[in-house]
Amino acid sequence: MLKIENLTSHYGRIQALHGVSLEVNEGELVALVGGNGAGKTTLLRTISGLQGASGGSVSFEGTDITEMAAERRVNLDIAQVPEGRQVFTALSVEDNIRLGAYTKSDKAEIAADMEKMYGRFPILKEKRNQAAGTLSGGQQQMLAMARALMSRPRLLLLDEPSMGLSPVLVMEIFSIVEELKEQGVTIFLVEQNATAALSIADRGYVMETGTISLTGTGEKLLNDETVKAAYLGI
Amino acid sequence: MSAEFLQFLFSGVTLGATYALVGLGFSIIYNASHVINFAQGEFVMMGGMGTVFFLGLGLPMPVAILAAIALTTLFGFGLERFAIAPARGASVVTLIIITIGASIVMRGLVQVVWGKEFHAIPSFSGDEPIMIGGATILPQSLWVLGVTVLLVLALRYFFEKTIMGKAIIATSLNRDAALLMGINVRLVLFISFGLSAALGAAAGILVAPITLTNFEAGIMLGLKGFCAAILGGLGNGMGAVAGGMIVGIAEAMGAGYWISEYKDAVAFILILLVLFFKPSGLFGKTGTERV
């Protein structure tokens, strides 16, 4: 479904991605783990088009989208939950969710989808008229996910959904991720919390200083000695 | 309330409404791009001068007004498309300097094409003053106030109820996240410049029958509108409206009770005071945000 070949990207003269290649198949939950500054977020931003590629290619369902404008990729049913949630703080929770369906025009469908989100995240319904900036970190994470799901994505890119959350909330977020996978959404999950991510993933990639250093099934990576030493703290 | 005070209040509120519209124009562009558009005053001037031109062609008043607004809006679109968009990625200061350049170009163009003379637009509905409590108010002042109220309400509706309006606010809050929603942020910027230009033109046309207009009329109106926007908290729409009213009334009172030669200074004294004591503006949000 998503195929990345030899992708490079620069911030000015600093190279952040040194030829990344990976693949996400339809229906899979693929995790990308790695330390701080490995280039995980840059990779996701290049996939969603927020960050330009300087070489290599990103293709989605056989179409090369390397040069496609970020806002047009949403129409291909790709959605990203960005690092640090990035909710629209001054807008109400409801407006945030509604903006997730910006590219949709069927009003009845949008209303039904909003009800679905409120069903999945009851706390958001309770706080629907509050400014998104007043929500707690976990609630903002749920809002960011609800907002992304409003576009009915087939490929969901999740960037550090567990960042800054309590262990209980991390479990809650990850169970939602698993639930989404069961519903047929393809998921590419970027995480520093390698244990949690790899234990729910079908496959995983380990990223180091802008390249993929290791790949395999989630289980295999969890038991890999170098991964254990470097990322799992075991 | 003395008749004198009432008289000053009427003229202050009329001026204030004009400044409010200009200030709103500043706020809209600031929100969408963090650029302070110093060509905003020229949009105001072009509305007035454009109406003069189209009236001169023999067009009826309402048509001339719409044509002038349309022409100014085109200039707004053009400014974004040909001067701001190509400089994408440049710093905000660079973009602001571009708008200063654009304002000089617009003044120059109008001067060369339409001349340097002062012009008057006839009042929309006569010049017979209306007596209220011993003071008089011109029918044109009522037009200024009425249309300003309508425009402010229409803008509120646009930004609070329509998805396009919310998309503009979303873009101003978080450009990257807006892109991820599929919002075309370049289109948002384009629309913002057009909308600001149209608002500016409306202000210029409304006030032209009272104050006369020429190619330089936009400089002072632009600066006062800028004061209004700063006073209310840059980027805060309702703040700009309140700021405009404060500047207008203070100016009229200053001219009436103090020295009329210094009336233009009042707005700038106010803005200095605000910047000293409450830099985010009277109604500037400090913002509730959690990380």
Amino acid at B245: M
CA distance A122 to A64: 39
The domains of chain B are located at: 3-115+133-277
Share of chain B above pLDDT 90, in %: 73
A51-89 pLDDT tens trace: 999 999 999 999 999 999 999 999 999 999 999 999 999
Interface touch A70/B180, C-beta < 8 Å: yes
Q: How far is A135 from chain B (nearest CA, A)?
A: 7
The chain-wide mean pLDDT, for chain B, equals 91
- Token digits of residue B220: 């002072």
Phi, psi for residue A215 in degrees, rounded to 5: -150, 160
Name A19's Cβ contacts closer than 8 Å, sequence gap at least 6.
Answer: A6, A7, A8, A55, A56, A210, A211
* pLDDT over threshold 50, residue B106: yes
* pLDDT over threshold 70, residue B291: no
The whole-number average pLDDT for the span B178-200 is 95
Interface touch A102/B179, C-beta < 8 Å: no
- Token digits of residue A234: 């075991």
The residue among A197, A72, A121 whose CA lies nearest residue B183 is: A72
CA distance A181 to A188: 10
Q: Which residues pair with A191 in a beta bridge?
A: A33
Pick the more confident residue, B14 or B33: B14
pLDDT at B276: 87
- Asked whether the ipTM of the predicted complex exceeds the cut of 0.90, the reply is yes
* pLDDT over threshold 80, residue A8: yes
CATH entry 1.10.3470 includes domain B3-115+133-277: yes
Chain A residues within 8 A of B289 when measuring between CB atoms: 89, 133
Interface touch B290/A140, C-beta < 8 Å: yes
Interface touch A88/B169, C-beta < 8 Å: yes
The chain-wide mean pLDDT, for chain A, equals 92
pLDDT band at A234, cuts 50/70/90? low
Where are the extended beta strands (E) located within B129-253? Answer: 130-132, 135-137
Q: Report the number of secondary-structure helices (H) and strands (E) in chain A.
A: 10, 10
In our burial notation (b when 16+ CB lie closer than 10 A, e otherwise), range B187-200 reads ebbbbbbbbbbbbb
Q: How far is B96 from chain A (nearest CA, A)?
A: 24
Element (H, E) at A183: none
Chain A residues within 8 A of B166 when measuring between CB atoms: 91, 95, 98-99
B285 in reach of chain A (CB within 8 A): yes
Interface touch A74/B181, C-beta < 8 Å: yes
B233-244 pLDDT tens trace: 888 888 999 999
Q: Tell me which residue in B174, B182, B185 faces A88 most closely, judged by beta carbons.
A: B174
- pTM assigned to the model: 0.88
| DSSP per-residue letters across A157-199 | EEE-TTTT--HHHHHHHHHHHHHHHHTT-EEEEEES-HHHHHH
Q: Are A58 and A214 in contact (CB under 8 A)?
A: no
